[in-house]
Amino acid sequence: MTDIQHFKMTTYRLCKISVLLVLLLLFSGCAKVSFDQPKPYSAAFTDTTDTALGKEVTDWVASSQGLSGFYPLDQGMDALGVRLRLAERAEKSIDLQYFLMKDDTAGAVMTKALLMAADRGVRIRFLIDDVFTTFPDRYFLLLNQHPNINIRIFNPLSRSGFSTLNFVGQFSQANRRMHNKSFTVDNVISVVGGRNIADEYFELKTDSVFVDFDVLAMGPITADISSSFDEYWNHSRAVPISQFIKPRQEEDLETIRTEINDELSAIYDTVYERALNSRLLQDLITNQQPLFVAPARVLVDSPDKLTNKIDITQNQLANDLHEVLLSAETEAIFISPYYVPGDSGVQLIRDLVAKGVRVIIITNSLASTNHVAVHSAYARYRKAVIRAGAELYEARTNAAQEITGNTDSPDALTLHTKAFFFDRRKIFVGSLNLDPRSIDINAEMGLLIDSEAMVGSLTQDMDDDLATLTYRVRENGKGNLEWHCRINNRDVIETTEPLTTWGRRFKAWFMNIAPESQL
């Protein structure tokens, strides 16, 4: 070896060592949030029967044999309007628990509604998961200055150093997220379902429609929803925002008021007022729009799931649902935007079909999904699911206007509904997707409602809707997949992923490298 070659080899080794040292220093220097700092304990108010909503709900429950009442919210503007009306009528408390909130119109409108309630003396407890929330920390800090607003971030990453390195360096912690979604007012009325606080969930985006689903719940079930909220609110991973984020500059609450009012002035007539004009909440309370009266249960994972080792015994919600599913006698319908059944899920389908249960699965197509990597993992199981005996359907992305019934809607959709129906009698609605992330990694919650009338109203036209709004995925005699649909009274059969480009199909193929256990 010549001197020059020796020099190059030595330099190359030194460079490798230097890079490794830098990486080690960066990772070892990842900033962490302390989960051991003391914080005030609080619980839902139980003395709310003297509020206007409390009196109305108490009277309603007395006339309904002590059961709870429910109403499906399948339209985004109704879902936003109900939340805003509830915030407007709140007298003692609003408890919010969400996976994400964005810095957009929905975020601004919700912020204004919470500020207005807090100014009236309403206690606001806002619990938000951290990683996918894009609403600025600065705004959260300013809101938290209000004496009646308390904001806690669930399982937060440190704001010191590099956020990407903090995430990667603490992956085992940062990968575990709170996916729960609930909105409860005066401990008597709640909204539970799949919607987060962002434009797409309330039909405020102009380029696509998110097909989503919530349920308004009132009566005794609300106390159980509040108990679940309290467990998460007081958990060690729920960190008061002021404990780990410090303001970069001195600002007061009036700053954010001015900014929000300026932002809302341009959209007030078209969004805020339009949503508030929804009379659905008042019609429900006054019985002009009857509620579905039914027994129900809150199904929820413990927040400890996110601090314990991933194990089937920790999957409290999924395990409870599994018991319900095994009791199905005639039909099981699953609507899940992200569906990765795994071998055990395919075997479950075989077992159900073997005992005479009709199994229907509705999920996103490649064209409609907003998570291509999840679709890639799901696609591996399509033939197995069909061969197991399930009817498999995928959302037709260009059926948005037909689903919403609004010709002004953008003609593109993404399915985000999470709802399961059993024997046309029971329904589960909540945050759970049928994929490894929801079942094993994240925390989830929802409601199991036993109402033949409610389920009947939601499924009465399902076969016709499936034929026209989705593709039935079948396997032909040659072992190839086909997508069957009826469009404009004409039967259509596609032999490749419908309404997709070559580039999107290539992306789906390439994303097969993603580990299935993380999807």
SS3 (DSSP) at 412: coil
For the record, the structure tokens of 147 come out as: 């004496």
Q: Are 351 and 448 contained in the same domain? A: yes
Catalytic residue, candidates 103, 230, 423, 450: 423
Same domain for 224 and 368, yes or no, is no
Residue 452 has pLDDT above 70, yes or no: yes
- Which candidate in 181, 305, 371, 375 is catalytic? 181
Per the prediction, the chain carries an average pLDDT of 89
Catalytic residue among 92, 102, 112, 179: 179
Residue 326 lies in a domain: yes
State which residues form the domain around 233.
Answer: 69-285
Element (H, E) at 503: helix 502-510
Judgement on whether residues 463 and 494 belong to the same structural domain of the protein: yes
**Do 262 and 389 lie in a common domain?**
no
Closest to 237 in 3D by CA, of 154, 133, 143: 154
- Is residue 506 located within the same domain as residue 359? yes
Q: Give CA–CA dist 463/362, Å, rounded.
A: 12
User: For the segment 81-126, what is each residue's pLDDT rounded down to a tens digit?
Assistant: 899 989 999 999 999 999 999 999 899 889 989 999 999 999 999 9
pLDDT score at 16: 52
1 pLDDT higher than 70: no
Look at residue 498 and tell me if it is in a domain.
yes
pLDDT at 269: 61
Q: Which of 252, 285, 318 is a domain's end point?
A: 285
From the candidates 92, 102, 375, 416, give the one annotated as an active-site residue: 416
Q: Out of 186, 199, 301, 440, which one is annotated catalytic?
A: 186
DSSP state of 512: G
| Residue 34 φ/ψ region, left for φ over 0, alpha for ψ in the -120 to 50 degree band, beta for the rest | beta
User: pLDDT tens across 160-216, in order?
Assistant: 877 777 788 888 888 999 999 999 999 999 999 999 999 999 988 878 889 999 999
Do 352 and 390 share a domain, yes or no?
yes
- 7 assigned to some structural domain: no
Contact 107, 334 (CB under 8 A): no
* More confident: 1 or 159: 159
- Which residue is associated with the tokens 């939340």? 83
Examine residue 483 and state whether it is found in any structural domain, yes or no: yes
* More confident position, 275 or 221: 221
Nearest CA to 315 among 324, 330, 305?
A: 305
Span 479-501, pLDDT tens digits: 999 999 998 889 999 999 999 99
DSSP line for 181-211: -EEEETTTEEEEES--BSGGGGT--SS-EEE
Is position 423 annotated as part of the catalytic site?
Answer: yes
Pair (310, 260) in one structural domain: no
State the catalytic residue, choosing from 95, 418, 426, 435: 418
Answer yes or no: do 229 and 315 share one domain. no
- Which range among 22-26, 288-292, 448-452 has the greatest average pLDDT? 448-452
pLDDT tens per residue, range 19-46: 444 444 444 456 788 898 999 999 999 9
269 and 303 assigned to the same domain: no
Tell me whether residue 78 is one of the annotated catalytic residues: no
Would 299 be classed as within a structural domain? Answer: yes
Residue 79 lies in a domain: yes
| % pLDDT > 90, the chain | 71
pLDDT of residue 265: 65
Domain boundary among 285, 308, 335: 285
The two three-digit tokens of residue 96, written as one number: 């919010």
Q: In this structure, is the dihedral angle defined by the CA atoms of residues 128, 131, 135 and 139, taken in order, positive or negative?
A: positive
Instruction: Count structural domains, the chain.
Output: 2
Among residues 262, 285, 308, the one where a domain terminates is: 285
User: 34 lies in a domain?
Assistant: no
Is there a single domain that holds both residue 241 and residue 300? no
What is the reported pLDDT for 267? 67
3-state helix, strand, coil in the chain (%, to 5): 45, 20, 35
In the annotation, is 416 catalytic?
A: yes
**pLDDT for residue 2 is more than 60:** no
Does 272 share its domain with 320?
no
Predicted TM-score (pTM) of the model is 0.91
Residue pair 187/44 in contact (Cβ under 8 Å)? The answer is yes
303 in any annotated domain: yes
Task: Residue 473: give its domain's CATH number.
Answer: 3.30.870.10
Q: Both tokens of residue 442?
A: 């994240």
- Establish whether 186 is a catalytic residue: yes
Whether the per-residue pLDDT at 148 is higher than 90: the answer is yes
213 plus 352 within the same structural domain: no
